[in-house]
Structure 1
Amino acid sequence: MSPADEILDIVDEHDQVIGQSPRGEAYARGLRHRAVFVQTRDAQGRVFVHRRTPTKLVFPSLYDMFVGGVVGAGESYDEAALREAEEELGVTGLPQPGFLFKFLYDDGAGQTWWSAVYEVRCELPVSPQVEEVDWHAFLEEGEIVRRLNEWEWVPDGLAAYERLKEYHSKTAG
């Protein structure tokens, strides 16, 4: 089955399921669905950053500081976070990512999805999926900040990153 054929739950503005649709159709018609964003850090606290392959259905060849993806029909956010993180990192036995918050992403051009943001520590050696990841590294926070204006980042990941910074600044005080 191709990624475009994966069945997704379609949700309303309150994140309640109102139907189902193949992923490709959901994207083409701008149907609201669910996604997970998992910020992954290694034992030294560095963040996993990668460049998506040019064959990705959404945001091909762009950089991302999260692993994750869409939530399948009938799947919980927590299940999707663990599944997507293990798939993209190429690991098994990852701890359950910790849920932080949820927000409604809207690109202003008809693409919108509920986005659940998680964090996880990965002390396992990673072997990212070649179908998903062209390049990867664990980067220090300062390096990511330096690259924000140099690299082209996935827009939903940037939205999650900004909200994650706000979340940490509020919970640190």
Structure 2
Amino acid sequence: MMQTVFNALNGENHEEEWTPEPSSESLADLKARLKASIDDTAEAERRKYITQGAGQAMTYMRKADEASRYIAATNPDASGYPLLSAEVGITAPTMQKVAQVVHAAYSQWQIISAAIEAARLATKAAIESSETIEEAQAAANALSWPSPGQKFPQHS
């Protein structure tokens, strides 16, 4: 590989042959590092759509559960839906509308989350099946996350 080198003594550039240092990292170590990096990046991708934190994740799951149960109920009692009740007048004017908003948001999240998970798992599988350091790095470099403006197919 040729590189341009500046000679400070005479102020001129010249071309020299250069060979990059071979990596001392083993293929197994590289795969482990790349896969851990993919997991970290997937979490960053998820944070583009949701608030981070274990407590917040539990709240989202509970709200989604309450919304599904409320929508399915024939005569729901508001006391059985404390998280939805807390949003009445904030998210929407009625419990029914809050449940619909939460349900719609959760449905959209499932679609986006699935796209992120598919990209994460496919990339990790490609890295794992790589037989050389170059193949493993190329697999990691080929990762393409869904974009925030991307339209996702709707589930029925």
TM-score when normalising by structure 1: 0.20
> Which structure: greater helix fraction?
2
> Which structure: greater strand fraction?
1
TM-score when normalising by structure 2: 0.22
